[in-house]
Structure 1
Amino acid sequence: MIEECYIPAEDETISPTRGGIINVEEAAFLSLGYPLEEQEPETRGKRRPEGTIRVYDDYAGTFVPVKGVKIRCHRFIKWSTTFTDESGHYTMDSKFRFGPHYAIVFDNRKGFDIWGNWGPIARANLNMGWHSNRGHSRDINAGSFAWDWAAVNNATYDYYKMCEETGIAKPPRNLKIWVFKRWTTSSTPMLRRIVHPIGYNGNSSWKNFFINIGYGTLATVLNQMLKKVLPDITIGTGGHSYRKVYDVVNHELSHASHFSQVGSAHWAKYISYIMTYGSYGNGTGKNAELCGIGEMWGYSMGHIRAYEKYNPSGLLDDYPDVHTWLKPHVFWDLQRDKVLTKKQIYDCLVVGVDTYDRLVAKMYEKYPEKADEIEKAFTDNGITPNVPKPDTGDLTHDAFYTNKTVSSSFVFSGNNILTRNVTVTNSAKLTFRANKSVTINSPFTINQGAQLEITCGN
């Protein structure tokens, strides 16, 4: 039998038959045998608990705030939650007359949660015990119970913020990250999101082929059965420094953003390649270059994000790692030399871009004025594109106006102007003033009410 529970309003009082007016909450505690003397006299008034949560960055040698994480306070039937801000500070929404029990729940305000001690049953959490109603602060040291979760939380929070600032798509909503403290490897299987069959790649070995069919069928069936408990991302933190965790998390989250753009069918091929050929294989076999492109993005983004955090002066001349056949060096060079931004590269990682030539073709299509520099980044790193460069005619263009949305009147001047992928809107007037010529490549859109003016010659 479940008894009805009465939850009093804030500061609700009663008038007993004998004695003066008393607080309902105090009366309830007294009736259960909990002494009120456990509270210090100055804390007996109702207060909103507050505090600061920090984690130790063993690479920088300092404590840093734990960002956007949920803080939970409860006192028997009374519960309250809030989130830390970017400085790691929190203030509870509800007041407590008596000291509550405090916990950190790794459910982040950005829209992701971290699994750990409770596996797929519930989010990772750190019970901090009963403390004063004034609040409680906690520093999480390296090697302590919740350090791995806090480090992963912060790296993920920063990645989501980067997406908001750059326009790169965030990972899918309600992302689930499972942290394994003894593992050293990580992955982004996105198993909860895939609806296409997994594991039918056709390795050249017949033995592997039949094993793969059996495992692929099992993986597909289990995938459909266990969607609610399967992780999107697994992170192994074993032996990693805070900086290494930051790198690994950004690597895997960049894959999740890639998934947001290409979807289930593409990702099923990606997982199938890894499952069939063992990790990354040797660069041969069905969908090898599809995998190669994904890892170019993942590895480069992990290192670049770590360098942006710890070495804001710029990227190294050479990519700081070596891989067998994967070529993250290409994307590193494109960003280091300011040829393309992270967002511009990401915009090329679309459905159908599953070979190096198709990747280069997409880059040429979107950024024709950068074709020579794009080609150089690939050839310098051992990939020779077999893709014709954009045809810009016989003119030598020295002024480029591409990938723009013009919402207020603007004048662009140059000698030989090349323009492409431009939209003029909001009654704006776009004016090109060229000494010699203006070449317009599609797409080029002039919305109703907007204007285009071209003048050539002195």
Structure 2
Amino acid sequence: MKKALDNLKKSNASSKLSSIKDIEITTTHLYLRFKPKNQEELNILAIDSTLVLYDYPLDYEITEIGYYYRDPEVSDDQPTYQYCAIPVDKKLPKGVEYELIANLFIPDEDNVDSTEGKTSGKLYSSDLIDSLVDEALRITNNLDMALHNKSSKVSASKWRPAGKIKVWDDVQNTFVGVEGVQVRARRWFTTHRGFVKADGSYSCDGRFRRDANYSIDWDRHYFALQDGLLNGATYNGPKKRGNWDLNLKDDKQAYYATIFLAAHDYFYRHNYGLRKPSNTGGLGRITIKAREANGKSSHAEARKLYGGSDISLKAWGDPSHLVYGTTIHELAHASHKNIDRDAYIDLTWKGWISPCTPSSESCDHPGPTGADARRVMETWATTVEIVLTNLR
């Protein structure tokens, strides 16, 4: 930015920008790389909703739509690095190692209600901020010259990221809104966010002048989907100017979206007063590993002790209502445990641990006590599954 400012001061543009001599290039944001060692440290970061975290470096161009990036330096038993840009005066979460990558000067490009922008506590004209950002992009070979060379006012106008995110519902035989999911629009180190409504529409909380990278993180405060070992389930969308509309069907992202809808409904919508599977979220949020497998799904909190997830979901290829119902079923097990932890642990011991310890063959024959314990656990979860699934 300092070089960009020097270039503007030397150019003829400085005569048109009255406040250019007064502008100061000072650090407004810090570009950080967090290095969580386990799921617990990852959850510490998740507690702070003001941290906009990405699992890939923000100073690299995203050239391909995809799922997630994993840093090659990180071992398989640890979460990948998390990147973000934060205001210089923000307090950081304790207990997670981080590295300062760079000091940043980020002017306010939005200026929603004014022709002036505020940077480092001072007001500058939006023309000055626009020129400064354009020059910084030009000298780093990141300026879209096709857009820059257009002289029309429309080409440089600010736009608000918005659109619709929907997923196919086999029962309703139509696309339905993925209510509650957060859509993010990022241009380099600046991110604007918006939550999807019941009808699928969303609108982000800020504007850009140029193209932005859209993305989705399939998580909320109380739960998080995982794709692979300790990787958050994400979707890196297109880089574009204008609305991003997405209809998901018969693919991995549709699988994620349906699981997300079930978890969101359980935690945030209709649940007949059932206790949440997690009371606190954040450090105690439920992790759901969305496996590309079809088999017996399960809930086992103990898996988190060795880097696993609370819920292992194996409903790949099932119709959407079965994926939704299976997710509700496994969340109901977590909720059951949250009601009376000791009683649930006793049922688990009698129904699964004790019968299955000798051999896999003995696990298939738990005896009367074990069968009764399993029946109680499954009756609870199945009842909740039927009731909540029928509310859709």
**TM-score interval (norm. to shorter):** 0.5 to 0.7
Q: What's 1:182 paired with?
A: 293
Instruction: Return the alpha-carbon distance in structure 2 between the equivalents of residues 308 and 135 of structure 1.
Output: 31
1:161 is displaced (CA, Å) by: 4.0
1:50-77 deviation digits (Å, cap 9, x = unpaired): 1110011133321111111121221112
Which of the residues 67, 81, 86 maps onto 2:193?
Answer: 81
Does residue 25 in structure 1 map to residue 133 in structure 2? Answer: yes
Change in Cα spacing, 1:22 to 1:72, as seen in structure 2 (3 Å) is closer
Letter in 2 for 1:305: L
1:274 is displaced (CA, Å) by: 2.2
Q: What's 1:155 paired with?
A: 262
Q: What's 1:256 paired with?
A: 334
Letter in 2 for 1:188: H
Q: What's 1:125 paired with?
A: 234
Query: Residue 108 of structure 1 aligns to a residue in which SS?
Result: coil
Instruction: Return the alpha-carbon distance in structure 2 between the equivalents of residues 182 and 129 of structure 1.
Output: 28
Q: What RMSD, in angstroms, separates the aligned Cα atoms of the two structures?
A: 2.8
Q: Is the 8 A contact 1:283 1:289 kept in 2?
A: no
Higher mean alpha-carbon deviation, 69-78 vs 300-309, is at 300-309
Alignment coverage as a number of residue pairs: 265
Q: Is the 8 A contact 1:274 1:281 kept in 2?
A: no
Letter in 2 for 1:300: T
Does residue 236 in structure 1 map to residue 314 in structure 2? Answer: yes
Map 1:162-241; keep pairs closer than 5 Å. 162=269, 166-172=272-278, 173=281, 174-191=285-302, 224=305, 226=306, 229-241=307-319
1:287 is displaced (CA, Å) by: 4.3
> Given the two structures, how large is their TM-score scaled by the length of structure 2?
0.61
Query: Residue 230 of structure 1 aligns to a residue in which SS?
Result: coil
Instruction: Return the alpha-carbon distance in structure 1 between the equivalents of residues 146 and 293 of structure 2.
Output: 41
Change in Cα spacing, 1:272 to 1:104, as seen in structure 2 (3 Å) is farther
Change in Cα spacing, 1:190 to 1:308, as seen in structure 2 (3 Å) is same
> Given the two structures, how large is their TM-score scaled by the length of structure 1?
0.52
1:181 is displaced (CA, Å) by: 1.7
Where relative contact order (Cα < 8 A, 6+ residues apart) is larger, the structure is 2
Change in Cα spacing, 1:66 to 1:2, as seen in structure 2 (3 Å) is closer
Instruction: Return the alpha-carbon distance in structure 2 between the equivalents of residues 98 and 299 of structure 1.
Output: 50
Map 1:54-453; keep pairs closer than 5 Å. 54-108=166-220, 111-116=222-227, 118-121=228-231, 123-132=232-241, 134-142=242-250, 144-162=251-269, 166-172=272-278, 173=281, 174-191=285-302, 224=305, 226=306, 229-263=307-341, 266-267=344-345, 269-270=347-348, 273-277=351-355, 281-282=364-365, 284=367, 286-309=369-392
Instruction: Return the alpha-carbon distance in structure 2 between the equivalents of residues 151 and 281 of structure 1.
Output: 32
Query: Residue 166 of structure 2 aligns to a residue in which SS?
Result: strand
Instruction: Return the alpha-carbon distance in structure 1 between the equivalents of residues 372 and 129 of structure 2.
Output: 73
1:8-44 deviation digits (Å, cap 9, x = unpaired): 1235599xxxxx8461222221222233344485352
Q: Is the 8 A contact 2:108 2:129 kept in 1?
A: no
Query: Residue 218 of structure 2 aligns to a residue in which SS?
Result: strand
Query: Residue 163 of structure 2 aligns to a residue in which SS?
Result: strand
**Structure with larger Rg:** 1
Q: Is the 8 A contact 1:74 1:102 kept in 2?
A: yes
Instruction: Return the alpha-carbon distance in structure 1 between the equivalents of residues 339 and 118 of structure 2.
Output: 57
1:93 is displaced (CA, Å) by: 1.4
Letter in 1 for 2:175: F
Q: Is the 8 A contact 1:189 1:271 kept in 2?
A: no
Q: What's 1:53 paired with?
A: 165
1:219-254 deviation digits (Å, cap 9, x = unpaired): xxxx64x3xx32111111222000111221111111
**Identity percentage over the alignment?**
23
Letter in 2 for 1:126: Y
- Unaligned runs of 5+ residues in structure 1 are 15-19, 193-222, 310-458
